[in-house]
Structure 1
């Protein structure tokens, strides 16, 4: 089992989860984070740290559609090991449904 970042992270990208990950398995896009499933050790420490509640175990029904996205972008985006600054409007986007079409495939800059 592994953990999966879901739609709730889009445009929020708080990055609290990155700080607690013992194996540095997070990768950053312009407006989204992903977990590399091959690196995740299923410890679960990231899940309660996410203010947007965007991280779920892959056994959760919400993970199914996002598992492939995490796998795909973790191979393309840069690894992130420290919490950065979330977008200025992150709180405005938190808990908004229907953000999937806003997912940028661009890698994190900075």
Structure 2
């Protein structure tokens, strides 16, 4: 998984990330968005435009937000 959307997105859903993603790998999941790990091309466009700084490269996800890595994987199973 290249990029992960974390808790600051919950209930925010500003959607700049969706508009910026060149491969349409960001999908709505109820009260937030999630990134399809198989479709993401690791371009970083979404990370740069997120107004709440909720998007991280998987290896940079803060310890307190690590649960969102697995939650994203489970959503796309």
For Structure 1 versus Structure 2, the TM-score category normalised by the shorter chain is: 0.7 to 0.9
Aligned residues: 75
Q: Tell me how far 1:27 sits from its aligned partner.
A: 1.2
Query: Structure 2 CA distance, aligned partners of 1:73 and 1:27?
Result: 10
Q: Which residue of 1 aligns with 2:59?
A: 59
The 5 A counterparts of 1:1-110 are 2-62=2-62, 64-75=66-77
The structure whose residues are more often helix, as a share, is 2
Unaligned regions of 5+ residues in structure 1, if any? Answer: 76-110
TM-score (structure 2 length as normaliser): 0.87
Cα deviation, 1:61-110, whole Å, max 9, x if unaligned, reads: 425321111122234xxxxxxxxxxxxxxxxxxxxxxxxxxxxxxxxxxx
Q: TM-score w.r.t. structure 1 length? A: 0.63
8 Å contact kept, 1:27–1:73: no
**Rg: which structure is higher?**
1
Decide which structure has greater strand share: 2
